[in-house]
Structure 1
Amino acid sequence: MGVEGGGRRHALRTVAYVGCGAVLLAGCASMPDSGDLRGVESTPRQNAQVRVFAMPPHENAGPAEIVQGFLEALTSDDPQYETARKYLTDSASRRWSPDESTTVLSDGPNVDLERSGNREAGAEYTFMLTGSMVAVVDAQHAYAPDGGTFSKTVHLTKVKKTNQWRIDALPQGVVMGKSDFQRNYVSVNKYYYASNVPAATDGRLSTVADPVYVRSKVDPVTSVVRALLKGPTRWLDPVATSRFPPGTALRKDVTALSPDDQNKLAVPLNERADRVGPEQCTSMAAQLLFTLQDLTPTGVNRVELQGAGGRKLCELNEDRAERIAVHGTVKQPEYEYFIDGKQRLVRLPGTGTKEPEPVPGALGEGVKLRAAAVSRDEDTAAGVSDEGKHLYVGSLASGASLGSAVTSSGTSADDRLTTPSWDGGGDLWVADRDPKQPRLLMLRNGAGKPIEVRTPKLDGRIDAVRVAADGVRIALIVEQKGKTSLQIGRVERESGAGGRPVVSILEPHSVTPQWEKVTAMSWAGASRLVVVGQESGGVLQIRYVQVDGSTPAGNPPASLTGVKQIAASEDERLPLVAYSEDGIVRLSAGAQWQKVVKGTAPVYPG
């Protein structure tokens, strides 16, 4: 449908600054001289150092040009969307809240003229914005996959005072295509403390990552600090706590934060933080430092918290922060573990320069195993017997014996016990796939009577279990009606009768909604997993995925034929290890898969 008004249409443009020079770039769409109104195409990925600024509406721009220019301005790097607001009436600008949400579409929104008012008088126009949704980022900056259909309207009127077309009614938030979102936003882990997990034996708190998306070239440091101070996102909030007092925010006169030339960041806080003691202050500073390190891995290495009057509250560097909280892996694993040809649990030094050796204790001797898990301190291991019927737990010490902790009554190996998993607090998890009595079980400190974990909202059978080091998030491969998906659930613990804990998995959500089959997975960072599976009609692939369902930046792992199992460390510097048709293989950063040794069921501690 052709659109009237505004005279000859001009291509809208954006300005991009690269280094010290300026380059004029074509916008992400242009207005045709005649014919149908085009959709807004997503801008190709640009160099990370390029900043894009939109142009304001030109004199006597037609209604279609106003809509198109506004949508393009939403993908620019204007800090407060100043240029986008120039396409709105004054009252619409006051009502519009761009920070309410960001809707991500597979492509830029399609724009169609829905209706006009009095065509003779040219009094008003209404346009429909449509598209296929990929995700929504909410006001807390939390990302959530969404495969729905986007359909919203914008209404334009001619402003009497200026005789110019402007948008006077529009949906809240912003909307853009996937490639523009990837150019404009960056994922950052905020860090809080696990609220229902005991402190480590050395007294350190356990950190938990809370991924959010902030605009990558619009003062991301200040944005992520503000997001951290507001507390955990809704999904994580029941199991995470912040040491910042409620209501803590940046001081009102603070507009931007930036580190000094010594990589120290001073953070002025409001009066809510004035009365915190030294211990609480340093744990607050640790949250900030861990968060900023995730945003700028080679940047901030020291933070200073200041009170409302500018008084220094405390200062913290990286070394002291690591003494306050367990951040990431407690220590780099000494070994990679797998099951050898004699069905023993064996270990291989991380360097891979030596031959594998049976682990000390009974699991490395006479018991035939099909799968195993090693505690994060590498002192204890759990093994599942070759037929999947029994779970054994034993010390990794010479001469140590073991007893049967869990038994499945399933009639076949595929209907029995999964590979077990240890959390950071020393508890052991395993699923029993017996169709007559499917259960998710937890053994406190790997011993005693198993606790049957409640899974009220989990629909399907659990085929695999991996618990995060923080102990408050769990990854599950769930089978339902022939399809398998990767679900992330929240682990909540309550005190029950006789002091026995009641453990539940709540609000599970799929992080692979487009996949038809997931066959293997492993935690591969604070908020990242590596997954093996395939989309409908696709081929088997290995991909990284975030716990919020987004795809992390960077290249996926190299392809691997016939991969059956995969293991990763939450220390992202360590290589991936997999079991494929070639046996145990390893993938280091920047390299290709290399065969290591014959065996199955590779695992890192955890």
Structure 2
Amino acid sequence: MIRIRRSWRTGVAVFSASVLLAGCTALPSDTEPQALRPFEPAGEEQTDLGPQPGREPDLLLRDFYTASADPAQDYQAARSYLTPEAAEEWNPSETTLVVDRVDLATQPGSTNERRSFNVRGAVIGRLGTGGAYEPENGVYEATIELEQQDGEWRIASLPDGVVFERTELRNRFQPQNVYFFDSAGQVLVGDRRWVYSGQRSLDTALITLMMEGPSRVMAPAVEQSLPPEAAFAGVTDGAYQFTGFSGMSREDRLRFTAQLVWTLAMANTPGPYSVMADGAPVIDGQEELTTDDFADFNPRIGSSMVAPLFALTDEGVYRVASNTANPVSGPLGSMENLESVDITAERTSAAVRRDGDESVLLLGGLSGEVTESLRSRTITRPTFEYDSNALWVTLADNTVVRTVKSSATGEFASSEVNTTALEDIGGDISVLRLSHSGARVAMIIEGRVYTGVVEREGPGERSIVNVQEFAPQLGGTALSLDWQPDGSILVGTSSPETPIWRVESDGSAVSSLPSGNVTAPVVTVAASSSTIYLTDALSALQMPVNGADTSFWREVPGLQGVRAAPIVAN
């Protein structure tokens, strides 16, 4: 038997294996296209993970869970630990759970010929269809029976599905981004997948994933414009072959090819790329394609550009450059009582200023005049969408508001974002930040970290959907967060032991950052492609992104002795 207990803030629910989401964890490893059917785990060659002769039953069971992370040839290595009857009946594709560790306990009544083990583990996530990771927070429990066959212990009874420890996720799989356009067709959005490392051809595996479409979580925020008959037909003489493209417009072909080129390039598949559709170049007249052909859609642009640094101080907004800090030239440079500011790379600004018992949202150019847009008892720090013409804030009644500047009149119009998906969570949103693409949102609610995706239900309509809790081990200590250019999330906390954390974009890993001289609470975090910034109880500090080998942060040059919140204009 198997039991999954999943913990929620509102209580505890018990789920049986029959209600778990089904999903395969590995991509097909052969080079034949698998574009129009579900993924089936397959491998390149037999592995050496079979059982050792004379292995004790508890050690053999542990070896089985290690081998379960290898999907090669329909989990051939894991099946070798089972009796022939169990190997035939076991269905590994039922579900795939990732646990912190596997704990074993022998049940009463075991004999020298037959053993029964109670297996437990803290569930931290699952791999869904196409290798998409989804965080979980629960307990895995199962009863496994072993018996002697020909003098060797083998597993005779076990539940369907795959379970392995988090270390095997990193050992056996590698994270890769498959790219899709956002719903507006403006920007490429990464859909992170875990691909089995034993794939012979990573490029064809990623193309298969792309043809299958976005993951369940990301689907509402992105689009897939391929016709139903479109298929990947493999690689011939170095050219990627596709069929069923005859009805696609030139614009749709360009978008598809941009997705393809950047998916391959970001996986370090060298170009140029030859892409054929129905026997002809997918784009007329272009035999070979490179990332230069689609430079406008570079998903790394946010992580490769030099982002200007600003700072919010008690005296206004300052520009920080060349180890000095000087007030910006507009009204914000000398405005007091500012609570928060956000600035885009185009120098569009949004600021929240305290006015008596209310907070006021001010919008405008960084060095120009600002206009009052909203008033509320409290307003969270503004966060901009991709095109900088729209921003989001949360008001005192937990209403999330989207404000848009009219290109025709220059006036601002506000509408409410649908947050029905947050109702079961409860509590106030203290921080809300949109990702660089605008397709995802990260929030702090009652000190806990949540993410969601942004669904466009119609012109001007937005909803937050597919909400997940990330990094539950932080408890209720989170105070500040922001997206890093690589898609991960920085989180500042009130914990003196671990005041600053990094969370992977899919929640698959959470790691504390060096904090030798950081004094909690960390009330502000920010990041550029090269530097991480924070404001702790004493000052504004910085550390290189690759500075994990040092435990000390330095004061931000130009902000020494000044209470300030660093702002990176992405």
TM over 0.5: yes
Shift, 1:52, TM fit: 11
Equivalent in 449, 468, 471 of residue 486 of structure 1 = 449
Q: Is the 8 A contact 2:401 2:416 kept in 1?
A: yes
CA distance in 1, matches of 2:230, 2:157: 35
1:511 counterpart = 2:470: yes
Tell me the secondary structure at the aligned position of residue 182 of structure 1: helix
TM-score of the aligned structures, taking structure 1 as reference length:
0.72
Residue number in structure 2 paired with 1:108 = 102
Shift, 1:192, TM fit: 0.8
- The code of the aligned residue for 1:356 comes to A
CA distance in 1, matches of 2:264, 2:399: 40
Residue number in structure 2 paired with 1:86 = 80
Residue number in structure 2 paired with 1:403 = 371
Q: Which has the higher contact order (CA 8 A, sep 6+)?
A: 2
Taking the TM superposition and a 5 Å limit, the aligned residue runs for 1:235-246 are 235-246=217-228
Taking the TM superposition and a 5 Å limit, the aligned residue runs for 1:72-83 are 72-75=66-69, 78=72, 80-83=74-77
Tell me the secondary structure at the aligned position of residue 514 of structure 1: helix
Residue number in structure 1 paired with 2:131 = 141
Cα displacement string for residues 459-493 of structure 1 (whole angstroms, at most 9, x for unaligned residues): 211111211122221111112xxxx1111122223
Q: Is the 8 A contact 1:194 1:239 kept in 2?
A: yes
Cα pair distance change 1:540/1:111, threshold 3 Å: closer
Cα displacement string for residues 530-573 of structure 1 (whole angstroms, at most 9, x for unaligned residues): 111267xx724211112432226x8835552245333434x5x2
Residue number in structure 2 paired with 1:182 = 170
1:423 counterpart = 2:385: yes
CA distance in 2, matches of 1:65, 1:56: 13
Residue number in structure 2 paired with 1:304 = 274
1:340 counterpart = 2:317: no
Aligned residues: 501
CA distance in 2, matches of 1:52, 1:602: 53
CA distance in 1, matches of 2:118, 2:278: 47
1:319 counterpart = 2:278: no
Q: Is the 8 A contact 2:341 2:351 kept in 1?
A: yes
CA distance in 2, matches of 1:512, 1:521: 12
CA distance in 1, matches of 2:207, 2:463: 31
Residue number in structure 1 paired with 2:487 = 527
Cα pair distance change 1:338/1:155, threshold 3 Å: same
CA distance in 1, matches of 2:89, 2:275: 35
- The code of the aligned residue for 2:526 comes to A
1:394 counterpart = 2:358: no
CA distance in 2, matches of 1:587, 1:377: 25
Cα displacement string for residues 292-348 of structure 1 (whole angstroms, at most 9, x for unaligned residues): 34433xx43433334476x65354211112235665429835521112342x11112
CA distance in 2, matches of 1:65, 1:540: 35
Shift, 1:80, TM fit: 4.6
Structure 2 residue runs of 5 or longer lacking an equivalent are 1-44
Shift, 1:381, TM fit: 0.9
Cα displacement string for residues 16-38 of structure 1 (whole angstroms, at most 9, x for unaligned residues): xxxxxxxxxxxxxxxxxxxxxxx
Equivalent in 158, 164, 187 of residue 206 of structure 1 = 187
Q: Is the 8 A contact 1:100 1:139 kept in 2?
A: no
Equivalent in 297, 302, 314 of residue 329 of structure 1 = 302
Equivalent in 429, 449, 454 of residue 462 of structure 1 = 429
Cα pair distance change 1:249/1:152, threshold 3 Å: farther
1:453 counterpart = 2:411: no
Q: Is the 8 A contact 1:339 1:346 kept in 2?
A: yes
CA distance in 2, matches of 1:330, 1:439: 31
Comparing 163-172 with 469-478, which one deviates more in the overlay? 163-172
CA distance in 1, matches of 2:503, 2:143: 33
Cα pair distance change 1:282/1:502, threshold 3 Å: closer
1:541 counterpart = 2:505: no
Residue number in structure 2 paired with 1:22 = none
1:370 counterpart = 2:342: no
Q: Give the structure with higher Rg (CA).
A: 1
- The code of the aligned residue for 2:374 comes to V
Cα pair distance change 1:370/1:171, threshold 3 Å: same
Tell me the secondary structure at the aligned position of residue 377 of structure 1: coil
CA distance in 2, matches of 1:336, 1:182: 35
Cα pair distance change 1:158/1:551, threshold 3 Å: closer
Residue number in structure 2 paired with 1:442 = 402
Residue number in structure 2 paired with 1:28 = none
Identical amino acids, percent of aligned pairs: 23
- The code of the aligned residue for 2:440 comes to R
- The code of the aligned residue for 2:491 comes to V
Q: Is the 8 A contact 1:285 1:304 kept in 2?
A: no
- The code of the aligned residue for 2:244 comes to R
Q: Is the 8 A contact 1:211 1:527 kept in 2?
A: no
Cα pair distance change 1:112/1:188, threshold 3 Å: farther
Comparing 276-285 with 234-243, which one deviates more in the overlay? 276-285
Shift, 1:578, TM fit: 1.9
Cα displacement string for residues 157-182 of structure 1 (whole angstroms, at most 9, x for unaligned residues): 788xx898754653333222222222
Equivalent in 534, 542, 551 of residue 578 of structure 1 = 534
Shift, 1:70, TM fit: 3.1
CA distance in 2, matches of 1:375, 1:561: 29
Cα pair distance change 1:94/1:328, threshold 3 Å: farther
Q: Is the 8 A contact 1:575 1:587 kept in 2?
A: yes
- The code of the aligned residue for 2:480 comes to A
Equivalent in 209, 218, 234 of residue 227 of structure 1 = 209
CA distance in 2, matches of 1:305, 1:154: 49
Q: Is the 8 A contact 1:493 1:502 kept in 2?
A: yes
Superposed CA RMSD: 3.6
Q: Is the 8 A contact 1:376 1:422 kept in 2?
A: no
- The code of the aligned residue for 1:519 comes to L
Residue number in structure 2 paired with 1:355 = 324
Structure 1 residue runs of 5 or longer lacking an equivalent are 1-50, 200-204, 411-415
Cα pair distance change 1:170/1:336, threshold 3 Å: same
- The code of the aligned residue for 1:207 comes to L
